A and B are shown apart, each in its own frame.
Chain A
Amino acid sequence: MRLIKDNIVYLGVFVCLAVASVAIGYIFFGQLETVHGKIAATQIEINEINKKVNLVRYSQTVARQNIDITAMNAVFGKLLPEKEDYFSIISALETISQKTQFVITSYQINLSKSSPKKLALTVAGSGSAKDFLKFLGDYQFAGGRLITVDKIDFSNAGFSEVKLNVNFYTSSNTLLSNNFNTFTEKDLNIVRKAQEKVSIVPAVPAQNQPSDSGSYDVKQNPF
């Protein structure tokens, strides 16, 4: 009894330390788990944000290569519209005809080869071999709509009327993924070629538009 009495302080301290060890361990590991969880979640968020930041920085690298992204968006929107616009198809064929002197005489929708995102046409045209070659160099972008051709027969001898299967496309509004790295040189060459071939008529600013209000007096009270 006397021994216990003499060592009661040590005994108490030992027990207190043991209880405190368990409590501190429990609190510490709980805290640590919470902070580690927050760190992991924040790291994922940062990675996602950084992918977007990298896209912005890469866009500046692309812009430094004389590529006007705002203007090109207008060009791409014209080349690949969201919805099919038959007028723009007719206009594209007319424009290519004018630019290349290869006269498109008729066109016919090829339903069997068309799909919701692709309109296939059989186009007939005439012109000299030189005009046709010019057409073949320009058709992809020069009309203002993206055109692809499946197969081309070209003959120097006896060149007259040509029939081509051409395709027009609409876009599925695909956006660039965050995991995207860089464009290939081929992709950038497509941009340069489209930039060179497609012209976008700038919208007339409102201040330059003719105003009707100057020609007529506006009467507030008709009586």
Chain B
Amino acid sequence: MKSRINLLKRERKYQQYELYFHYLRIGTFVYCGIFVVTVMGLLFYLYNVNNQYAALLRQKQESAQYLLQNKDTEAEFVYFGGKLLEISKLLKEDVNFQPYYNLLITSLDQASQEAHFNSVTIDKSKSVQFTVSVENYTSLLGFLKYVETDKFLRYFKDITLINFDLADNNKKYTLTFKGKFNEINETTY
């Protein structure tokens, strides 16, 4: 069988391949350019990341060095702080009587010279019950007027008159109050 060559068809295919290879050449140049730029970018990024890591290592070393120089101070302070916070927590279980007692006496003194403090009970939740006696009716009115003012009430979360007695031939009035103190400001502990 005799082979025949169709030159027209071959020429078209050849031109098509030539075009592909032309694209390949351009693509290779472009790819080469992008490759070089990308590799340089990646190396630069890696260099920066490594620098960042090196800076962190230096910072860690400096901090560790400082800590090593002050390890006794740190150990002492950790013990000190632990104990202090524990004591502070335990003192919340304490009635802490005196500041509240002083507060009560001072405020009662402001009420009236003739109002006499008799007794007080305070517990660790700052619940309070106290008894006051007043010598005459005018003082009683003055005292009651005072205990209803904000000046007195601001010390308490709540306060109620739970008992009122008349003694000594209606000359002495005894009043019993029950309530709960507001927490005293921590700076005035």
A binds B: yes
* Docked-complex contact B53 and A187, CB < 8 angstroms: no
| In the assembled complex, A24 has its CB within 8 A of some CB on chain B | yes
Chain B residues within an 8 Å CB radius of A32: 45-46, 49
A153 touches B46 (CB 8 A): no
Within 8 A of B (CB), among A108-139: 133, 136-137
Give chain A nearest CB distance to B79 CB in angstroms. Answer: 6
A98 vs B31: C-alpha distance in the bound complex, in angstroms? 95
B97 lies within 8 A of chain A by Cβ: yes
Residue among B52, B84, B189 facing the most chain A CB atoms (10 A cut-off): B84
Minimal Cβ-Cβ distance residue in A for B57: A42
Whether B60 pairs with A76 at a CB distance below 8 angstroms is: no
Given contacts A157-B119, A174-B85, A189-B189, contact A59 B74 (CB under 8 A): yes
Q: How far is it, in angstroms, between the C-alpha of A150 and the C-alpha of B92 when the chains are bound? A: 10
> What does DSSP make chain A's interface, helix, strand, loop or mixed?
helix
Whether the Cβ atoms of A17 and B77 lie closer than 8 Å is: no
Task: For chain A, residues 52 to 92, give those with C-beta under 8 angstroms from any C-beta of chain B.
Answer: 52-53, 55-56, 58-60, 62, 69-70, 72-73, 76-77, 79-80
Whether B87 lies near A55 (C-beta < 8 A) is no
A17-B28 in contact (CB<8A) = yes
Residue B95, interface by CB 8 Å: yes
- Please measure, in the bound complex, the distance between the C-alpha atom of A58 and the C-alpha atom of B77, giving whole angstroms: 9
Contact of B83 among A36, A39, A80, A157 (CB under 8 A): A80
Separation of A48 and B136 alpha carbons in the complex (Å): 69
A53 CA / B62 CA spacing, docked (Å)? 11
Query: For the complex, what is the distance from the CA of A3 to the CA of B93, rounded to whole Å?
Result: 96
Residues of chain B within 8 A of A152, CB atoms compared: 95, 97, 121-123
Is B103 part of the contact surface with A, judged by Cβ < 8 Å? no
Among A7, A38, A171, which residue has the most Cβ atoms of chain B within 10 A? A7
Which residues on B sit within 8 Å (CB–CB) of A200? none
Q: How large is the interface on B (under 10, 10 to 19, 20 to 34, 35 or more residues)?
A: 35 or more
Q: Contact between A190 and B97 (Cβ–Cβ < 8 Å)?
A: no
A-side interface size class: 35 or more
B17 at the A interface (CB under 8 A): yes
Q: How far is the CA of A108 from the CA of B83 in the complex (A)?
A: 27
Specify which of B39, B76, B81, B88 lies most central, judged by the most chain A CB atoms within 10 Å of its CB.
B81
Cα-based distance from A171 to B87 in the complex (angstroms): 9
On whether the beta carbons of A136 and B87 are closer than 8 Å, the reply is no
Please report which residues of chain B, range 62-95, place their CB below 8 angstroms from some CB of chain A when the two chains form the complex.
63-64, 66-67, 70, 73-74, 76-88, 90-91, 93-95
Cβ of B24: which chain A residues have Cβ within 8 Å of it? Answer: 7, 10-11, 14
- Residues on B lying within 8 angstroms of A by beta carbon are 14, 17-18, 21, 24-25, 27-28, 31-32, 35, 39, 42, 45-46, 49-50, 52-53, 56-57, 59-60, 63-64, 66-67, 70, 73-74, 76-88, 90-91, 93-98, 101, 116-124, 186-187, 189
3 shortest interchain CB distances as A-B pairs: A176-B81, A186-B186, A148-B94
